[in-house]
């Protein structure tokens, strides 16, 4: 199937049901570690956050790939200049949603930030890059990434994090010019969340 049938558009609040499972699939172990608490699941938290407007997981930061009216890919774009405020809104969401259990979630979130860190100054940061299994190997993820880079021409350096246990994603990113800058280890309970690589690419490689 040709990827010419793929269109990319900004996400909308009503995309939550289609987009959140994709976002979750970008790192299930990490999402579960931080956001499963009491009777609230990571999926519950992501649905509410996606439909909000100011937090890091908001639909406003996401773009979706669509084929024949069906969502077949997701990507999030972060920039250092507004990330602090979005992160503060995410913290507010945690306390609003989890209430008395929020401090436990917040502490786990901070431990995760030691590995998957906020975007560095001057970098365009890409994340939540996900495509359903049946739609893979059609160039959808690559198309999403190229779209994201072209949408923000002011950035010469592009960055992302990838699981050390995901060789397919690493292969795609290396093909697009990304190089491993740093190996980062998960600070929580051993074996619960994969260690990650932090990678960067020059805009010129796109």
Query: Band of the pLDDT at 1, cuts 50, 70, 90?
Result: very low
- CA–CA distance, 43 with 56 (Å, rounded to integer): 15
Task: Judge contact between 21 and 72, C-beta under 8 A.
Answer: no
- CA–CA distance, 172 with 151 (Å, rounded to integer): 20
Per-residue pLDDT at 158 exceeds 60: yes
Q: Tens digits of per-residue pLDDT, 176-185?
A: 999 999 999 9
Q: Tens digits of per-residue pLDDT, 84-109?
A: 999 999 999 999 999 999 999 999 99
pTM of the model: 0.96
The average pLDDT across 23-31 equals: 98
Task: Judge contact between 46 and 23, C-beta under 8 A.
Answer: yes
The average pLDDT across 63-81 equals: 97
**Can you state the percent helix, strand and coil of the chain, rounding each to 5?**
50, 25, 30
Instruction: Name the residue among 67, 84, 196 with its Cα closest to residue 144.
Output: 67
Sign of CA dihedral 125, 131, 136, 140: negative
Per-residue pLDDT at 3 exceeds 50: no
Rounded to 5°, the CA angle 9-96-110 comes to 80
To the nearest whole percent, how much of the chain has pLDDT over 70? 98
The average pLDDT across 27-32 equals: 98
| DSSP H helix total and E strand total for the chain | 7, 7
Report pLDDT for 65: 98
Report pLDDT for 4: 61
Identify the three-state secondary structure at position 68.
Answer: coil
């Amino acid at each position: 199937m040709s990827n010419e049938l793929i269109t990319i558009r900004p996400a909308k609040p009503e995309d939550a049901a289609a987009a959140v499972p994709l976002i979750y699939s970008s790192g299930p172990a990490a999402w579960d570690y931080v956001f499963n608490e009491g009777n609230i699941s990571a999926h519950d938290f992501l649905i509410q956050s996606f439909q909000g407007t100011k937090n890091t997981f908001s639909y406003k930061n996401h773009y979706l790939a669509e084929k024949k009216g069906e969502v077949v890919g997701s990507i999030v774009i972060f920039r250092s200049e507004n990330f602090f405020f979005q992160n503060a809104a995410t913290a507010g969401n945690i306390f609003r949603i989890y209430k008395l259990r929020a401090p436990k979630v917040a502490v786990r979130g901070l431990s995760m930030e030691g590995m998957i860190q906020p975007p560095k100054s001057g970098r365009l940061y890409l994340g939540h890059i996900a495509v359903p299994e049946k739609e893979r190997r059609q160039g959808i993820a690559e198309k999403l990434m190229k779209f994201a880079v072209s949408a923000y021409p002011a950035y010469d350096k592009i960055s992302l994090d990838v699981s050390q246990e995901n060789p397919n994603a690493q292969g795609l990113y290396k093909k697009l010019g990304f190089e491993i800058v740093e190996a980062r280890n998960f600070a929580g309970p051993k074996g619960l969340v994969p260690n990650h690589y932090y990678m960067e690419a020059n805009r010129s490689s796109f």
